[in-house]
Structure 1
Amino acid sequence: MRPLVALLSLALLALSAGRPGALPARQQGPAQATPTGPAARIQALFRDTLAGALPLVQVQSSRAFYRRRAHAPAWCAAQQLAPPGRAALALLVRAEDFGLQPRHYHVGALQALADSLAQPQAPVRQDAQLARLDVLLTDGLLAFAVHLRRGQLHAFTPSPLEKAGGPFAPAAWLAHALAAPDFAGALLRCQPQQREYQQLQQALARWRRQPAGRDAGPRRRRAQQLAVTLERWRWAAIPDAEYVLANLPAYQLEVVRHGRVLQTHRLVIGRPANPTPTLSSRLTSFTIAPEWRVPRRVATTQLLPYLQANAQRPSEHDFLADNNYLLFDAQGRPVAAAGVNWAAVTAQNFPYTLRQSPGCGNLLGNIIFPFANPYGLYLNDGPDPQRFERPYRALGHSCLQVQNPMHLAAYLLGPDAARAALPTEAQCEAAPKSRNFFLKRPVPLHVRYATCAVVAGRLRFYADVYGRDEELRQQLFGRGLAR
């Protein structure tokens, strides 16, 4: 009986549909209906079947932004851009003031859509244009915010400003900025707030507004150099209110506190063959009149040839003694250099360690500031004060040598400096006595690579000592000059 009942039921359904032998047509659901309201039109733009209709960059963040507001338009009202929308578009138009390029944020398409709204057209088409304009503007703003926060080339890498567990949420940031009295100001606070970035960004905006004249090409090149440096700062923004900053191309170290430069020191940095790496660490201690434990690489490549030459041509001069070096075997026992067959010693079988005593000629100078890093680097005084007077100071072996280091030590000690009775450099050289100091308040240290900076209110450009700018410039702007 059951198969017969089923056949009769199918026949009755076919007759009721007016099409013998056919099932009734499925009714059109609301998902396939033509959208009529602004929210429905915006929602339709995000459907999977229509996603390709707009060249969205921040698809997920754009979806999240509109879900927060039930897909209501954010930037358009009364068939035109509302005041927040005009402010938002004006901000994207001047993206080059921030070292970015408007074409990455749909600016051409947005301007064309905004212009088309002023032309007479059918209401249905106008509503569709408004929805496209709203969504494209949101997507452009989200991409703009991400690039300001993290940089264009590291858009998916959290910046140092983002603490663990709290990544940058561009949709929430944009919604907050839209609700703020000053939209542009609120959005731009996603940028690094440190003085080096802020001053450089403002300098770029002023630079672009100056008449170029016959120097248009060189000025565009300088603008790109500023943009490259801003990009680097976004990757390695400084979240601290107080810090020590070493800028390698400037050969300069600054002590910065709450946006003010309290001390400035000249630096000797690693030569291009041994470049000083960029990093972030903390200064926690320093040592006056330090002993230098010679790294094995230095001992075998630089000191061993002197020892071998000294053994071949005996004289009244002892290379190790003349330079305050002590020689030790693998067990840490002192060894007399004269009793070593240096001709049989090679870099591969070198079984010794060398230490240089404190005092005159010590390659660390009168003071060393160690800091945690994977490169074996430190900040120190150096044995040759005249090196700090040279305009080109990429002369060292990776480590950083700082001029007037006792001033830096006094600052780091803070109120304890007077009680510590730090010696002058002359006193330290005359009577070297090793002393260790541990800071009650460690200070962040940042080593960065910036080929331009604002110094005492003036924009300065530095030589690209390690040749790092050009590759980055090409990644951002291509092989030619920016148009």
Structure 2
Amino acid sequence: MTFTFTKKTSVYLLILGLFVSLFAFQSCKKKHSAIADRLFKVTQNKIYEDVDPDTLAAALKKEIESQKSQIANEEVIEAFVKGNGYQPVLVMDHFFNGDLDILPDYFDKITEHGLSKKPYHIAAIRTLVAKFHDKNGIMSTDEAYHELARLELLTASSLIKYSNALQYGVVNPRKIFSRYFTATKRPDSTSMKNVLLVKDLKTYLDSIQPADPQYKALQKAFLNNTVIDGLSAEESKRYFLVNMERLRWKNKPTEQKYVIVNIPDFKLDVMEGGKSVLNMKVCVGQGRNMDGRASLISYADSDRYDKPFPRETPQLSSVIHSVEVNPTWNIPRSIATKEIIIEAAEDPYYLSNKNIDVYKDGKKIEDPETIDWSTVTADNLQYDFKQRPGEDNSLGKIKFLFKNKSSVYLHDTPAKSAFRKSMRAVSHGCVRLGDPQGLAKNLFGEGEDYDTIAKDMSEDNPEPTNIGLPKKTPIYITYVTCWVDDTGVLQSRQDVYGLDIVLYDHLKPLMGENLNPKSEMLNAKR
């Protein structure tokens, strides 16, 4: 069948095309005018009837350019606004359901977390929201464009910043600590964009309030101006602040079972189902602030930066994968230069008495006592040192291995007297265990592997035995100086590595120098 175009057909198609185009134009215009229509319907302010979406888009673009230095996470916000055709979708989603009315109230309470209100534009958002509620609040279309754009950006910036603060903390530990190797989740563009897509802000904001019992306990102590025994009220407040920030970091164990070492507490716990099933004393690496010279109240400018003492134990997360029973100790060069060659220079038989073998170019030297150690220095040292298994081995009878960048591990020690001391920051960086066999029994359980470990630990086996852990166990070496124990008693420990000082100094500009939690709470309720 052949279709023949006629003059009449052409006219018909032309009219049809014009009709479709007009319909599409009107539909588009109606869609883009929804903002103006809704604002007029709520406020009865006729100014909104003349709001043009194209001019509004241009105003929002201009506002982004002018406010780049003042809004947080500008790139994420600009991408969000651009994706919405430069229309104030965030405002429109939350103005009419009352979300924007309650949002500043949440921001106001940020002081209950020890943080400053300043970044959240509370007064500006309240003023703008009130202006849009007021029938006579907006007096011209130019004002409507500008204030809509401003409210969109301030709301987006403050909402993301508030969400990030409560869920991730305000300080990135990886940026301030030199030896921080703990997996820690930080906000990214996707997580921040998702905040802007939330439909029910109240439900969302309630859901991100810290629920950790430890956090709530420290927060309560902070708000009540609780004083830690032996500290002033101000120093106590700062203890609470730095440890609340630590609890906001997304670096907490999520596994059913894990091993955790708290450096300032000099303790190790095996945790199962949220409870400690094994607790023991440990010795950790020597620190820069063991004498308590610096405190959160009194510290020098140099203390503000993390400059670790060479023997400090790092913060890390890893997985214990195996043990070595009756281990050989490959003595680090740093220890060799500062201790081994000095001892050997004073006593030619020191090396043989300590079961230390000497190697040069990978070959064992048979008579190391014939070397004139007094001429050997850190600059010309050409030897490697290994301590054989035995009672005097510095690693004791067993070491627990896990991958890490600092070559540290958990291990036994022949120097048992250190566990009777209150200050147990005495090692070269590894963690010495008060009950290494108890840890082995817990991790391996009853069976052939543990029987081998117990037998070999009871003997002077000259050969190391490596045994893989059937079920690899996560390990966290952390740094916490204040917490509430299982009985509800507030505990605090000395800042032996000065890490509280480093963290506090980075927190200080984000919380305000003269923050008084009680007065801030009262003001927020008025």
Corresponding residue of 1:443: 473
Amino acid at match of 2:314: P
- Secondary structure of the 2:195 match is helix
Which of 323, 327, 351 is the aligned partner of 1:320? 351
Say if 1:355 and 1:97 are closer, same or farther in 2 by CA, change over 3 A: same
Alignment map for 1:53-72 (pairs within 5 Å):
55-65=70-80, 67=83, 71-72=88-89
Alignment map for 1:364-403 (pairs within 5 Å):
364-403=395-434
Aligned-pair CA distance for 1:236: 6.1
Aligned-pair CA distance for 1:49: 5.1
1:298-324 CA-partner distances (Å, limit 9, x unpaired): 22321222222224xxxxxx4233323
User: What is the rounded CA distance, in whole Å, between the counterparts of 1:230 and 1:39 in structure 2?
Assistant: 48
Aligned-pair CA distance for 1:96: 2.9
Corresponding residue of 2:165: 147
Within the alignment, does 1:170 sit opposite 2:192 as a pair?
yes
Q: Unaligned regions of 5+ residues in structure 1, if any?
A: 1-29, 312-317
Corresponding residue of 2:495: 464
Aligned-pair CA distance for 1:439: 1.7
User: What is the rounded CA distance, in whole Å, between the counterparts of 1:39 and 1:75 in structure 2?
Assistant: 21
Larger mean Cα displacement after TM superposition, 291-300 or 60-69: 60-69
Q: Unaligned regions of 5+ residues in structure 2, if any?
A: 1-31, 37-46, 176-181, 288-308, 517-526
Q: CA RMSD in A?
A: 4.0
Which of 371, 388, 392 is the aligned partner of 1:357? 388
CA contact (8 A) 2:219 2:240 kept: no
Amino acid at match of 2:316: L
Aligned-pair CA distance for 1:448: 2.3
Aligned-pair CA distance for 1:181: 7.8
Amino acid at match of 1:284: H
1:83-104 CA-partner distances (Å, limit 9, x unpaired): 4334433322221333432222
Say if 1:257 and 1:115 are closer, same or farther in 2 by CA, change over 3 A: farther
CA contact (8 A) 1:269 1:394 kept: yes
Alignment map for 1:327-342 (pairs within 5 Å):
327-342=358-373
Aligned-pair CA distance for 1:407: 2.2
CA contact (8 A) 1:246 1:253 kept: yes
1:163-216 CA-partner distances (Å, limit 9, x unpaired): 99x86421213423x34782223344xx7x8xxxx3342123312432669x9x
Larger mean Cα displacement after TM superposition, 241-250 or 286-295: 241-250
CA contact (8 A) 2:95 2:101 kept: no
User: What is the rounded CA distance, in whole Å, between the counterparts of 2:452 and 2:420 in structure 1?
Assistant: 23
User: What is the rounded CA distance, in whole Å, between the counterparts of 2:112 and 2:379 in structure 1?
Assistant: 55
Amino acid at match of 1:460: Q
User: What is the rounded CA distance, in whole Å, between the counterparts of 2:190 and 2:174 in structure 1?
Assistant: 10
Larger mean Cα displacement after TM superposition, 365-374 or 347-356: 347-356
Say if 1:108 and 1:321 are closer, same or farther in 2 by CA, change over 3 A: same
Q: TM (normalized to structure 2)?
A: 0.69
Say if 1:442 and 1:184 are closer, same or farther in 2 by CA, change over 3 A: same
- Secondary structure of the 2:312 match is coil
- Which structure is higher in RCO with an 8 Å CA cutoff and minimum separation 6? 2
Larger mean Cα displacement after TM superposition, 367-376 or 330-339: 330-339
Amino acid at match of 2:213: Q
CA contact (8 A) 2:88 2:149 kept: no
Corresponding residue of 1:291: 328
User: What is the rounded CA distance, in whole Å, between the counterparts of 2:51 and 2:222 in structure 1?
Assistant: 39
Which of 465, 468, 477 is the aligned partner of 2:508? 477
Say if 1:87 and 1:391 are closer, same or farther in 2 by CA, change over 3 A: farther
Matched residues, number:
429
Say if 1:233 and 1:36 are closer, same or farther in 2 by CA, change over 3 A: farther
1:341-362 CA-partner distances (Å, limit 9, x unpaired): 3344444333433322222221
Q: TM (normalized to structure 1)?
A: 0.74
Corresponding residue of 1:74: 93
Aligned-pair CA distance for 1:240: 3.8
User: What is the rounded CA distance, in whole Å, between the counterparts of 2:452 and 2:341 in structure 1?
Assistant: 34
- Secondary structure of the 1:477 match is helix
1:385-431 CA-partner distances (Å, limit 9, x unpaired): 221232111111111112212222223225xx422234787972554
Say if 1:221 and 1:320 are closer, same or farther in 2 by CA, change over 3 A: closer
Corresponding residue of 1:14: none
Within the alignment, does 1:96 sit opposite 2:129 as a pair?
no
User: What is the rounded CA distance, in whole Å, between the counterparts of 1:123 and 1:270 in structure 2?
Assistant: 64
Corresponding residue of 2:485: 455
Corresponding residue of 1:206: 220
Amino acid at match of 2:343: Y
Alignment map for 1:19-168 (pairs within 5 Å):
36=49, 43=57, 46-48=60-62, 51-52=65-66, 55-65=70-80, 67=83, 71-72=88-89, 73-77=92-96, 82-113=97-128, 121-122=136-137, 124=139, 132-133=150-151, 135-154=153-172, 160=183, 162=185, 168=190
Say if 1:452 and 1:53 are closer, same or farther in 2 by CA, change over 3 A: same
Amino acid at match of 1:467: G
CA contact (8 A) 1:161 1:237 kept: yes
Say if 1:395 and 1:428 are closer, same or farther in 2 by CA, change over 3 A: same
CA contact (8 A) 1:65 1:171 kept: yes
User: What is the rounded CA distance, in whole Å, between the counterparts of 1:480 and 1:163 in structure 2?
Assistant: 26
